[in-house]
């Protein structure tokens, strides 16, 4: 079996935070990409199998199947029961986990370096040999239905879901990752195996690892387990096209809630857009921390909300910048007005240099702190491969952040904060509250 192997050594430049990363990449004949980053100063190894499609790549009638399959692989394989999997992981002190997002499914494990062969055996068995037993499907259906209920009972999660479904209406990106009661109840063994067979293929998967490990030895072990994966068919790719944004104002009455939950959002750059650093700083200044404008203005100065923040969500072809607040119904209109005023202010007035530098330092700290563990680096490797097909050194990223100017921020704000592009979602006891486009004139 031929293999394509590349070594990346990303070194620091003139920035004082220079960092060297020993990254290796190998691609097997079946298209599976294996990535490693050696960390000689740690005893752990984190490894993850990443499937490069998620809930946004599902057909409407099987919405939630990615998440369902993620759950089901833990229920047993051809050679291991669910109990045996749990016992073997506990016996090596491992941490086994998984998650499903809009654009990926990930199965991961963290262990001591001496237990890599055993961990690799368990992890690849989970991914490669699930049985999807009908009785397990029935039980897991009940579990996931309870998970859906749990999210619906969580007001801040629910208002975000309402916002997302309205913002990308009628597009798979707007569908819930968990699926709906109707779709989840329809899943059977045939549905799961059809989805699994079409997605869990070499060219649609990445195996990344970081920690105290040797690349060549790790590749040999992975190839032994996964070389028989079929290559992804040429026709397989992202199933959903570029989503159209719907800047709607939606509200849901829920009298049992003490607070009114608010989301105000606008379209934002995609994850690999060249302006992503400007967008990240704009988010930090607007509502990304305790010193942000919204936190200080709405919470600290006026006491109108306990929780208020902004968040940037980026996907392969689009994104959103969304402000969340929990407040009383009588204060909701004022919170909306203050938020829109901040949109307008950042469009019309240059951000002071001191404030911009504080945001840059905050973002720098977040980036550096997020890469301190083997698990974080493992995840970073996979995401860079998926979205960029290259690996950015930390100093390179920090330099791009440092080069963002107040003029860049103003231009982006003028692009994003357009009144007709602002979407709103409200959840709670509305008490007759109605938000119109006049409220959103930024």
Please give the positions annotated as active site: 70
Distances (CA, A) of 296 to 293, 301, 303, 363: 5, 6, 9, 18
Phi-psi region of 349 (alpha: psi -120 to 50; beta: other; left: phi over 0): beta
Q: What are phi and psi of 380, to 5 degrees?
A: -60, -40
Length of the chain: 442
Beta bridge partners of 97: 108
| Terminal C-alpha separation, the chain | 60
Report the 3 state secondary structure along 257-289.
CCCEEEEEEEECCCCCCCCHHHHHHHHHHHHCC
Helix axes 353-369, 276-287, angle to 10 degrees: 110
Distances (CA, A) of 402 to 124, 274, 280, 353: 41, 14, 12, 12
- The residue behind tokens 């490693």 is 36
* Alpha carbon separation from 320 to 25, 347, 400 (Å, rounded): 32, 17, 21
Give the integer Cα–Cα distance in Å for 82 and 70. Answer: 14
In this structure, how many other beta carbons lie within 10 angstroms of the beta carbon of residue 158?
18
Structure tokens at 30: 């079946």
- Residue 307 sits at φ, ψ, to 5 deg, of -115, 120
**Inter-residue contact 440 to 339 (CB < 8 Å):** no
Contact status, residue 140 vs residue 132, Cβ threshold 8 Å: no
Query: How many C-beta atoms surround the C-beta of residue 417 within 10 A?
Result: 22
**Residue 168 and residue 244: Cα distance in Å, rounded?**
6
């Amino acid at each position: 079996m031929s293999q394509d192997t590349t070594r990346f050594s990303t070194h620091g430049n003139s920035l004082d935070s220079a960092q060297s990363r020993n990254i290796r990449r190998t691609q097997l004949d079946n298209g599976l990409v294996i990535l490693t980053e050696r960390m000689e100063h740690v005893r752990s190894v984190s490894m993850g199998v990443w499937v490069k499609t998620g809930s946004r790549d599902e057909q409407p009638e099987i919405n939630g199947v990615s998440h369902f399959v993620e759950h089901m692989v833990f229920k047993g394989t051809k050679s291991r029961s669910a109990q045996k999997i749990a016992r073997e992981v506990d016996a090596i002190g491992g941490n086994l986990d998984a998650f499903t997002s809009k654009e990926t499914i990930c199965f991961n494990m963290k262990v001591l370096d001496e237990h890599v062969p055993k961990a690799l055996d368990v992890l690849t068995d989970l991914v490669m040999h699930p049985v999807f037993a009908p009785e397990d499907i029935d039980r897991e259906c009940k579990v996931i239905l309870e998970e859906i209920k749990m999210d619906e009972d969580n007001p801040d999660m629910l208002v975000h879901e309402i916002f997302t479904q309205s913002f990308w209406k009628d597009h798979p990106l707007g569908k819930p990752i968990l699926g709906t009661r109707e779709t989840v109840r329809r899943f059977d063994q045939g549905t799961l195996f059809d989805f699994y067979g079409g997605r869990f293929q070499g060219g649609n998967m990445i195996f990344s690892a970081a920690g105290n490990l040797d690349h060549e030895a790790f590749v040999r072990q992975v190839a032994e387990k996964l070389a028989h994966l079929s290559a992804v068919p040429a026709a397989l790719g992202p199933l959903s096209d570029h989503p159209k944004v719907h800047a709607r104002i939606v509200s849901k009455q829920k009298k049992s809630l003490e607070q009114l939950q608010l989301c105000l959002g606008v379209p934002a750059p995609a994850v690999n857009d060249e302006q992503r650093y400007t967008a990240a700083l704009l988010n930090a200044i607007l509502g990304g921390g305790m010193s942000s404008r919204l936190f200080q203005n709405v919470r600290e100065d006026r006491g109108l909300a306990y929780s208020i923040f902004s968040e940037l969500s980026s996907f392969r072809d689009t994104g959103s910048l969304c402000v969340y607040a929990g407040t009383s119904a009588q204060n909701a209109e004022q919170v909306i007005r203050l938020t829109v005023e901040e949109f307008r202010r950042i469009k019309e007035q240059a951000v002071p240099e001191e404030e911009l530098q504080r945001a840059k330092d905050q973002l720098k700290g977040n980036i550096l702190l997020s890469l301190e563990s083997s698990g974080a680096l493992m995840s970073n490797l996979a995401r860079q491969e998926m979205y960029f097909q290259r690996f950015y050194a930390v100093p390179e990223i920090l330099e791009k952040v440092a080069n963002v100017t107040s003029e860049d921020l103003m231009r982006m704000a003028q692009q994003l904060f357009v009144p007709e592009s602002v979407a709103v979602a409200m959840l709670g006891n509305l008490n007759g509250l109605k938000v119109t486009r006049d409220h959103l004139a930024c």
